Structure 1
Amino acid sequence: MSDRNGLSPHNHVSGLKSYLQIEQEMEVELGRPPTIPEVFLRTHTKKDGTFVDKKAQAVHEAYKKRREAKLAAQDNDESSDGTSRRSELSHEEDDELFLQSTYINDRGTYFGVGSLGSYINGKRKYPGSSSTFTTLQQQLEDANRKIEEQAALQAERDAEASRVAAEALRANQIFL
């Protein structure tokens, strides 16, 4: 709880919830996986929209500057070659800009990402295949498909067993 060079002690408003839990709740709310900057804003701003501390505000401002510069560079690229480019950043690009804007402590831990830090550096997956919700949904679909395959296989086996039993019964009747 030291002063951290005039930046005051680190605070967040996530309470007892992990950042991963907050990310999962936001995914349900948004209908898509949130970016790290979106989770950061949720966990580092009060209900009135003010930041919980100066360091969080500095990180967000640095991120916003990098994001604006990247979008401006994309717009310049578009106007110079006449081709149409997207005016938004991908999930990965947005996360990367945030990570470039935040602080890293002596242990290599990113400031402001909490339990999401374990998904960074190639481990974090992105929309469509990555979020916990999507992954669980896919696992459920896979499990249901396997159950259906097993049920079909069991029905084939039962039919074969019935056929064999019927043939055995006919063969017994012939010998009697």
Structure 2
Amino acid sequence: MNRLIIMTVGLTHSGKTTFAKALEKELPNSVVIDQDIHAEFLHTYYESLLPKEGSNIIKYALTQTIVNYAVNDTSCHLILCNANRNLKARLKLLDHFRNNGFTSILVYFDLPESVLNERIVKSQRSTAILRTASTFEEVLSRQQEETNNSDVIEPREGEAEHLFVIKRPDEIQSIIQKIVQIV
């Protein structure tokens, strides 16, 4: 069986998790791996272990353990619904999955800033996942500033076997159907 790795790329509140959950329902034998869940779990049960500054090494280690298990001990298609905005890290992940026989798909959420701001204002999401910001407005502002950083680059043709770009929320269902057809 040809296994898929679907990676979402985008700013906070662009719809990555909502898309991933909807895709998981329609793509048989798939699993969503969401670092926000890992961050919330660590914040709830292991707050004293979280680093005060720098990278959240424990969150990344937890995610890597889950990914390794899914790759090596299951036959699941994987849906990574993290931001995946850093080009070097994204390419490293894609290479890892290609070396393990996966077909790679990037789904880039390129929604207008006005849509993101509106979603943040209406959001019911817990801020418990946040470690270095106190609001999602702060997260969005920081992510927008990072876009000027050469390491944070939007996905391009050729990075993965398939690239889908979502510019409007009403495109989500058609992209899901295209991904399901790849299997």
TM-score by length of 1: 0.28
- Give 1 or 2 for the bigger CA radius of gyration: 1
TM-score by length of 2: 0.27
> Greater share of strand residues, 1 or 2?
2
